Amino acid sequence: MKLTGAEIVLECLIREGVEVMFGYPGGAILPFYDAMTKYPQIHHVLTRHEQGASHMADGYARATGKVGVAVATSGPGATNLVTGIATAMMDSSPIVCITGQVASPAIGSDAFQEVDVTGVTLPITKHSYLVYDVEDLAYIVREAFHIARTGRPGPVLIDIPKDVQNAVTEFEYPEGEIYLPGYKPPQKASAEGIQAALDLIQKAERPVILAGHGVLMSGATKEVIEFAERTQTPIALTLLGKGGVPESHPMSLGMMGMHGTGYANLAIQNADLLLAFGMRFDDRVTGNLKTYAPDAKKIHIDIDASEIHKNVRADVPIVGDLKTVLNQILPALSAVEHREWLAQIRDWMEDADERDIVHQHVTNKLLAAHVIRDMWAATQGNAIVVTDVGQHQMWEAQYYPHERPHTLITSGGLGTMGFGLPAAIGAAMGLKTNNVWCIAGDGGFQMTMSELATAVQERVPVKIAIVNNGYLGMVRQWQEFFYEERYNATPMITPDFVKLADAYGIPARRITQREDVIPAMEWADSVTDGPVLLEFVVEKHDIVYPMVPAGADLHNMIRRPVPSPDGL
């Protein structure tokens, strides 16, 4: 059958299983939007900004495991997607972005709303296409989805000139295997690599597993737990690795790195073997590379060969799918015990418990850490939590333990403020659940709060918790520690969030006392037809402890002081 280029794209999206896409129309993408009227089976969500569209597609992808789709017009529409594309790239999230482009003859003429978006996004996409021939369109769409979801997932961009969208050709969906010379994501490890890893594992006395996002992406939770239990190896988690193993598991050390648990960082620095499972040795995880785990051999398993030796040299590098590789290792793995090592870690845990703010009685202040812990209690740890970026993000990571994969969605690599609300909308729409909580700070929330209108229009039952301390809190914390308390450009005036919500027709409450946190959560849970908003007005000057200063040695943490007998 003969179809236009725009219709071909939509036919291909249906065959790729796309049910919802997020976007914002404009001149160069209008043929595509006009064709949508013939394909009501794909639900289009009108966002209030293209950045929101790319974050929603990202949140949808991370929550569902499917490819998220964002749509924008040329020029500013396309460039407004860029922050969301970069966020997805850094966190290996599979999204396909479709952008309109000026007509082919006008490309390069500085036409109205023309921008070289494939050039702009070249470093932040897994692949990008500028389609000049409608005959190529169907195969390109299929190839784009294949690239986005295979190997190490990531964003792909398809830029389609307006005349290509309008061109007509015979449509036949390209079946068969995708042919991409040079693109063969590895699965299995070599026998030599497996044996080399086994040799180090059997000799180790103080091993630590570093569990990253790859555990979730490959579905290797069961294998990692089996490995840890058989070898009595404690597990430290990256921020994006949270949920990869249950944090209540006896081998779990919680999060590692800049704001990780003190005992996880001390375990890493004193280890004689690090088993890096699907993680990339981000600087927020390692601190000073020159002093990072100085006595430890390193086994690094990752599906992306470019990550091997990039930041930390591996003694045993293994490129492959983590779940597949662990299933190669496990049959040959003998049971061992590390009693002295685990006893040492328990001592470090006791010290951390003594310092922990959630174990301290505070009567006259609402602390963000207490709010997060009460949210965990009220939801029984079962919510899908989507955070923004800042202090609240780290408190969530510290005080909301996750037991299942894909229950924490957050911007790890790029640290994108404004990610939380739109990503939560995408996650809630993908999962079709009213159990998605967006936790945002007052700063990040204001960056994309226009998407409240999207949530209302779509009746998305997302629950929004704003942790309001009147500051750009994390930047303020750095100014306190490292810039002699010169709080420049961090005190922040905010709108009345409850009145703002009311303007959108969103039920909302403000909470200032700890005893009101859980009742407010229960009230919010009763609102299921559309969004609901809670504003927690918390202590302004609180600090996220512990903290490893940027570039410092991982064990040189700034710790919360041990409380005096009189309390805080």
101 is annotated as an active-site residue: no
Q: Which residues, 6+ apart, have CB-to-CB distance to 399 below 8 Å? A: 358, 369, 372, 373, 376
Q: One of 112, 222, 340, 481 is an active-site residue; which one?
A: 112
89 is annotated as an active-site residue: no
- Residues constituting the chain: 568
Sign of CA dihedral 394, 51, 42, 131: negative
Q: One of 113, 187, 360, 457 is an active-site residue; which one?
A: 113
**Cα–Cα distance for residue pair 472/491, rounded to 1 Å:** 7
Q: How many helices (H) and strands (E) does the chain have?
A: 23, 20
Q: One of 7, 89, 101, 162 is an active-site residue; which one?
A: 162
Q: Which residues, 6+ apart, have CB-to-CB distance to 81 below 8 Å? A: 50, 51, 53, 54, 70, 72, 97, 99
**Is the omega angle on the peptide bond into residue 246 within 30 degrees of 0, that is, cis?**
no
**Cα–Cα distance for residue pair 121/82, rounded to 1 Å:** 7
170 is annotated as an active-site residue: no
**Cα–Cα distance for residue pair 427/57, rounded to 1 Å:** 8
Q: One of 258, 349, 429, 474 is an active-site residue; which one?
A: 474
Sign of CA dihedral 331, 332, 337, 341: negative
State the alpha helices, DSSP H only, in 65-180: 76-80, 82-90, 117-120, 137-149, 162-166
279 is annotated as an active-site residue: no
Take residue 287 and report the two structure tokens written for it.
């601190």
**Cα–Cα distance for residue pair 421/56, rounded to 1 Å:** 8
Q: One of 7, 11, 16, 50 is an active-site residue; which one?
A: 50
**Cα–Cα distance for residue pair 65/406, rounded to 1 Å:** 9
Give the bridge partners for 101, in sequence order: 161
Q: Which residues, 6+ apart, have CB-to-CB distance to 175 below 8 Å? A: none
Closest alpha carbon to 331 in 531, 194, 136, 434: 194
User: Token match 């890493």: residue?
Assistant: 268
Contact (Cβ atoms closer than 8 angstroms) between residue 333 and residue 198: yes
Q: Do the strands 2-4 and 168-170 form a parallel or antiparallel pair, or are they unpaired?
A: antiparallel
**CB half-sphere exposure, 57, CA atoms < 13 A:** 41
Contact (Cβ atoms closer than 8 angstroms) between residue 53 and residue 376: no
Closest alpha carbon to 144 in 158, 130, 123, 131: 158
Give the bridge partners for 69, in sequence order: 96
- Output phi, psi for 216, to 5 deg: -70, -40
162 is annotated as an active-site residue: yes
> Which active-site residues does the annotation give?
50, 112-113, 162, 474
